[in-house]
Structure 1
Amino acid sequence: MSGLTRTGVLLAVVVGCFLLDFAGVFASLHQAIEDARFEATSRAPSGDVVLVEIDATSLGEVGIWPWPRFLHALLLDTLVDSGASRVAFDIDFSASSNPEDDAAFAASLARAEGKAYLAAFRQYSPATQQTSLSLPIAAFAAHAQPVLVNVQRQGTLVTAVTEAIATSEGAIASMPSVLAGGQVRLEGVQEIDFGIDVTKIDRLTAAQVLSGTFDRERVAGKTVIIGATAVELRDFFTAPRFGTIAGPLIQVAATETMLQNRSIIRTGPWLALAAAVLVVGLSGLRRKPKLAPLIGICLAVALASEIAALALLEAFGLLISTAALHLALLAVMVVGLIERLKHEYRRRTEFQARLEFIAHRDVVTGALNRFGLLSELNLRPAAPESQIWLMRLQGADTIGAAFGQTVRDEMLAEIASRLATLEFNSVARVGDETFAVTAPAGCCEASTGAEAIRGVFADQFVSGQHAAHIGVSIAHAHAEADWSAEQLLWAAEMALLTPGASDAISHYSPALREGVERRRLLDGELRRAIGTGQLHLAYQPQICLANGTLHGVEALLRWTHPRLGAISPAEFIPLAEETGFIVELGAWVLQQACETAASNAWLGRISVNISGRQLGRAGFAQDVATIVAASGLDPTRLEVELTESVLSNSPDVLFTLDTLRECGIGIALDDFGTGFSSLSYLATLPFDTLKIDRSFVRDLKEGSPNYKIVKSIVELALALDKKLVAEGMETAEEAQLIGALGCHYAQGYWFGKPALIEDLSVTFKTPRLAG
C-alpha cells in the first residue's frame, strides 16, 4: 500500500470514528473515561453543606408518607434553632395538606425569617403533552423563596442542573445557585464536578433531628439540604462516578461545585480530532511504516491526551472528550496490524514448502519426526501391510551428562545416518531417545531387521575426541488389517515398554497390554512399598579365597507384595530406573544397609549397588556421607558398586568418585567385561575393586576361552593394584580355579544364597572352598 493510499484510508477511519462519536455510539466509553477522571481528581467537600436525609429509618419511625407537615415544621425549627444559616427542602410542597399542619409549617417558615427555601420544578405531563411548573403553595411561598431543583441529563446520566428559569412572576434560580450565592443565567446549565466526593458529605437522618439526638454544632453556620434518600421514595438518579444516587445528593454536589468554583466546562472532540490527524500524518511519512513505532506513537498520543485531559480537569475544570480519539488510534493500530499481517502472510507463503519440510523432520538428526513418520505411513497405499521396528537408546542421557549436549546431538545424528544405510522404507526419530524404521510386511522377518539394526550399534559412535558405545532395546510390531499408522506406532511403543534380554526383540501381542498394565501397577505399588514393610535387604556373602573367611556382603533388594507375592528385582529395578524412582529407592537401600551393618557385631565390608541416575545427581557424594554418618557405620566398611555403563571420564563423575574415596568409601567396578568402557578408563578412574561378571565364571574350565579372559582380567587388576571379586560362583571347581588365578574374593550360590545378615553369621562358621 502506498503512503498516499494509507493516509487516505487512515483519515477515513478517523473521520468515521468521530462521526460515530457524534451519533452517541461511544456513550459508554465516554462514561467510563469520565468516571475514571473524576475518581483520579477526587476532592473532599467544603464542609459547609449538611444533608438531612429522610431515610428508611426515619420513614419507619414516623410510619406514613407523605409526612404530616408539622414534622417538617419541627425539622425547620430545630435546624434554625441550632444555628443553620440556610435550610432548603428538596421536597414537593405544591399541594395543600390538612389546614392545621399547613398552618404549622407556614408559621415555622415565617419564624425562619428568610432562611428557608422550598423546591420548585418543571415537569412534563404525557397526558397534556405540556410542561408545567410546580411551586410551593401560596401559604408557604409567602415566607420561603422557591428554588429550582430540575436536573440536566446526557443520555441517562445526570450531569448538570438548570441555573434559572423565567416565570410570569420573575426568574426562579436553582437551589445550588441560591445556596452558593452564585450568579445565574436564564435557562443556563450548571455542570456538576463529580470529582467532589459526595460520599463524604456530612449527613444526619431526619429521625435524629426530630428527636434532637444530634450534635447541633454540626449544623451551626452551615447550609442544610433536606431530602428523601429512602429507596421506597424513588427519588434516585444515575450520575457519573457514583452510579445511582439520591436526588438530594445531586443538589448537594451541584452546591459544592459552585461553592468551590469548580463548574465543569465540556469541550467538543476537536482537540482529539487534531491529535488523531497528526498521528495519521506521521504514519504516512514512510512508505512502509514499522508496526512497533506506529503502535508506540498511538499509545504515546493516547497516554499524553489522558494526562493532559486530567491536568486540565484538575486545574481549570475542562472536561475534554477523548473517547473517539482512543478508538481512532485503536483503528490506526488495527490498520497497521492488518498491513503487517498481509506482509507476514506473503513472506510465509514464500517459505511454505520449506516449513512443510521442517514440520516433518527432526531438527537434530534430519530424520523424519513422529508427525512425519505417521504422515508417510498414512499416505502409502499399502500402509496396513507395514511393519515397524522401534529402538530405545541406552546410555544416551549419560553421554549428554558426561560430554555435553552438542556431542550427544552429533551422536544421535550419526545413528540416523547409519540407519538410513539399511534397506528400510523410513527412518524416524519419534522420541528423545527413540528411533523407528519401517518396511513392507514381506520385506524381511522381524529378527532379520533387528539383527541389521544391532549391527548399526555394534561400533562406537565418535564425536571429536569423544567415543562411546550406545546400547539399544528393540521392539517390533506388524500392522493388522484395520490398523492406522497411529495404531501401528502405538503397538510398537507398547512392546518397547516390555523389558527383555539385551539381545532379544520385544514383539507386540494382545497379551502385551496385560504386561503394560502390570508395569503401571508395579510402579505405583513400588512407591508405596517403602515404609510399609514390603521391602527388605538380603545379603550375599563375599568369601576370601585365601582362607575361606567371610570378607564382606553385597546388599540386594527384595520385594514381597502382600497380594502379588515376591517380585523379582529384574522386574522392578529396571522399572524404577526408567521412572526415576531409583533415586529414592537407592537412598533407602543405602540407609538400610548402613544401619544394618553398623548394628551387627560382624565387622566386614558391605557393598551397595548405585545406579547411574544416583551418581549423576548433584551432591550425591555428600548425600552418601550424610547417610553413613547418621547410621554410625565406619565409612571404610562401605563399598559402592557401579557398572561400567554409568562411568565416564567426565569431571563431575571423577569429582564424585574422588569425594567418596576421600570419605573412606570404597568404589567397585561391577560386571566388568560386559560394558563398553575403554580400557584406558581403568588407569584414570578412581576405583578399588574389580568385579568379574558371572558370564565369564559360569562353567569355567581350565584352558577355555573364558578362563583366558578371566586370567587376563586378574592380571590387569593385579597390575593396577586393584582387588578382585568373582561373581556367580556355583561349583567348588570354579572356586578353586578362580583362587588359583589370584582372585581375592568370590561370591555365588556355592558359598550361599542371599539371606538375612543374622543368618550369614551362622552359615559361615566353617569356610566352604571345596565340596
Structure 2
Amino acid sequence: MPSPTIRTIRRRAARLTVADIRSLATLLVVAACLAAALLSGVPAALDKALSDARFMLGSQAASGEIVLVDIDARSLGEVGVWPWPRRLHADLLHAAAEAGAARVAFDVDFSARTGPEDDAAFAEALASAGPETFLAAFVQHDPASGAMLASMPIATLLSASWPVSINVPVDDDGRVRRFPLSIDVDGETIGSMPAVLAGREAGTDDFGIDHGIDAASIPRVSFVDLLHGRIAHGALAGKTLIVGASAIELHDLFPVPGAGIVSGSTVIALAAETLKQGRALVPWQPPLALVPLVLALGVWFAVRQGLRRSLLAAALAALAFEAVAAWFYLDRAVMIETAALQLSVAAVALWSLVREFDLRQFRLWVSRVETRNTARLLERVVDDGFDAIVIVDEVGRIMRINDVARRLLDLPPDGAPGSLADLPPAFVEPVREAMASTPETGSRGTPVRRIARQGDADDARILEYAVSPFWLEDRRRAGGEGHRLRYASLVLHDVTDRERAQERLRFAAFHDSLTGLPNRRALEEQLDTLAADGAPVALLAFDLDRFKGVNDALGHATGDAVLTETARRAATALPPEATVFRIGGDEFLVLLRSADRERARRLAERVVAEVGRPYEVNGHRISIGTSVGIAAEVDGCRDASVLRRRADVALYQAKRTAAGPVVEFDLSMDAARLERLALERDLTDAIEAGAFELAYQPQIGLRSGAWTGAEALVRWRHPERGLVSPAEFIPVAEETGLIHRLGALVLHAACRDALRWPETIKVAVNVSPLQFLTGDIVGTVRSALAASGLDPRRLELEITESAFVGENHRLAGIFEDLLALGVTFALDDFGTGYSSLGYLHRFPIAKIKIDRSFVTDIPGSRHSMAVLRSVVVLADGLGIRTIAEGVETPNQADILRELGCGEGQGYLYSRPLDIERASALFAGGGEERERFEGTERRAMPALV
C-alpha cells in the first residue's frame, strides 16, 4: 500500500496534469481562432486601419507647385447652369495663361459633344492659350454588356490636348489609398494625371498615396475667381492647375484617410504631390513564419511569468512593431503590414487572460462591464440627444429628463426632475392613458404619436411626441420573486419649421401665387367633394378680352397688376356661396353652390359689370371687357369634368358670336362642337391622304382679249359630306394650324399644273395670312418651285389686307426673300377689309384685285363707280396692275375697260375648270374660248 507521501505527490501530479491539459486546450482554441482570423479579411482591414493611423504621425505640407481650381458652390451660383458651356473652360484657359500658369489639367468629362461653337472655342483655346493642357480620360463598367467602356475626350478637343487617366481605385471600405500610374484603353497605354503632372513614366502598377501630406495645405482658387481675374498677381505663375468639381451638388467626392471626404481633384492632387515628393508608398508584408514564432515566444514567456508581465510584454511588443513600421513609413515610405503580428500578440494576451481567470468569473466581469457601458451609453443618448426625452414611472415621478426637454417644455434648467404633473397639460393625459392601457406583458408598448402646440397662439411651437409604455423587472423584493415595474418614455421633437413649411406648401399647391385665388387643383378637389355629396353646382367661366394686347403693349408687370385687380373685383362681386378660381393665364372660373340658372346669370352679369370698369394701373387707364360662359344642370348631369367643359364651350360661344357677353350652355352647343371636331379630324385625314382638288378660273386681258392667268381654287370632295365649301374648312385649317400643310399642298399642285400651260399664262395662288405670320412661306414656295421647275415669274401669290394687320419687321423680310425668288404679289379683296394706302408703297404689290362686291353693282351704283374709278386711277399712278373679280355681263366688262381696268375674271369668261379643261382652254386660244363660253362655264361648282 503506497505511503501518504506518495499519494500526496500523485494527487498533485494529477492536478498539474489537469491544469496543463486545460491550458493546452485553451491554447489550441486561441490558435485556431488566430488561424481563422488570418485566413479571413481581418488582417487586411486591420492593416488599413493601422496604415491610416500612421498618416497622423508626420503631417507634411504640399509643395505649392500644384494649385486646385475648384468648381465650387459659389462658381455654380454665379454661372447658374450645369453642365457649363465649354466656352467657359476656354475662357478659363485664357485667364490661366494670363496668370502665368505652366500647365492646366481638367478633371472634367469631355466625352460628349455640346454646341459646335462651344466645342470649337474650347478646342481653339487648348491649341493656342499657351499652357500645356491635359484632358480627363477614364474607363467604366457597362452594366448591360459587362465590358469596360472607355470615355475619351471628343476628337475636336483631343487633337489639341493630351489625354490622361483619372480612374480612382476604391478599397473595400470605400476609401482611396492608391492610384494607378496608367490605364489601358483599346491597347493604348494612357498615363494617369498624377503620373504625368509629376513627370513619372507610365507604368502598369499602382502606387500608394501618402495621406500624411496635408490636403488643406494644397493651394486652392475658385473657378470664377480665376475666370474673372480675382486672384493675387503672380499667385499662379509657373504653377500646375488641376480644374475639378468640389461642390457637393456634383457628387465627385471620395473618402480618404485623415482628410475625410474630399473631391476627386483633391485625390489627384494628393497623388501628384506624393510622386513629386518621392513619397510613393510601397507595401511590405513580413514573412508569415514570424507569426508562429511570435506566438511560441509569447506562450513561453506567459508560462514562466505572471499575467501582469505577460500583458505588459505583449503591449511592448505591439508598440515595438508599430514603432518600427512608423519609422519605415516616415523615413523610407514603406508601409509594413503588421496586422498578422499584432493578431498573434493579441492571441498571446488573450490566452494569458483565459489562463488566469475562471471562465465564469470572466463572463461575470464582461457582463458587468457591458452593463455599466450600456447604462453610460443610454445616459449619453438621453442627455446629449437632439430629441427631448422624459421617462416617468407608474406613480408619476420623472425618473429622467434631459436639457432639451426642459427647454421645449419651459421647465427650470436646474433642480430635481419633478413629477408628471409639472409637465404641460397637453402631455399629462396622453402619458397616463398610454400607461393605463398597456397590458402587463414582456413586450414594449406601441408608441402613441401625436402633435401638440406649446406656448401662445402667435408664436406657439409645434411639438411631435410619442408615448411608449414599457415594463422592467424589479429583483429587490424578498424571496427573489420578480415584480414588474411600469414606465413610460415621452419623446418630443420640435417640428415647428417643418409644419409651417408644409402649411406654406399646401397653400401654394392649392392657390395661385400671383392673385392668391384658389387654383385649378383646389377647384377639382372642391368639385369632387360637392359631387360626392350630391350638392347642386353651377360653373361660370370667364376670361379677359384684349388682355394679350395689354401684355404686349404695356409689359407683363402691368398685365399681372390687371390680373390681381380682376381677382379682387371678381371676389368682391360674389356672394358667400360662390368662389372664384384662377385656372391659368387670364382664365377664371366661379363655382356657385346652386343650380339656379337665373341666379347664375345675374351673378355673371355682375362679374361682367365689375371687370368691365376701366383699370387705373401703373399710370395707365386700361379698358378691357370679359365674357362669361355658364354651365348648370341641363340634362341631370353633375359630373365635374363635364360641367367644366360645358362652361368653356359656352364661353367660346360668348366670345365668338353676337349673343352677348353672357351665354348659357345648351345641348346644341355640344352637337356643334362635336361637328367641328369631326370636321377637324376629317380635314386632317384629307390632308394626310392628299384628298383635295384644284380648280382654275381663267383671267383675261380686258383690252387684248388674251388669257393672262388663272386663279387656283382648292376643292374638298368629302366621301360623306359631298363638296365642302372653302369658306367652311379654310377657317378650321387656320385655327388648327393645318393651313400650313394645306397651303403647301396647293402650292405644289398649282406649280406642277401650270407647267402644262403656255409660258405667258400665270397661276395665282391664295396664301393665308397665317402662312406669312407663323409659317415658313419662303421655304414652302422655294420647295414648290424647285419640285415643279416652274419659272418663278409665272407664280403670283394673292394675299389679303388682313396679313398686314399687326405688321412687323419679319413680314418685310419675308417679302424681300420671296421677291428674290422672282414671284409677284396681288392684293386680294381690295377695299373690303383693313384698307390702307400705306400697304401699296411699303410692300411690293404688283396687282390689285378689285372685289366682286363693287363690280356687281355697276353701272347702277354711283358709290361703286366712284370706288372703281378711284382704285384704277390710284393703281395707274403707282404703276400697279388691276384685275376685277365677278365679271358676269358684257356691260360690266365694257365699263371696266373704259375705266382703265387691265384684267377681268368671272363667269362672263369661264367658271372654275379642272386642270384638263383649263389646259385645253389655254392651248386653244380665242376659238377655244368661244367654245368654252357656251359649254364649259358650268364645268365646275361655283365655290369661291
The TM-score with structure 2 as length reference comes to 0.39
Structure of higher RCO (CA pairs closer than 8 Å, 6+ residues apart): 1
The TM-score with structure 1 as length reference comes to 0.46
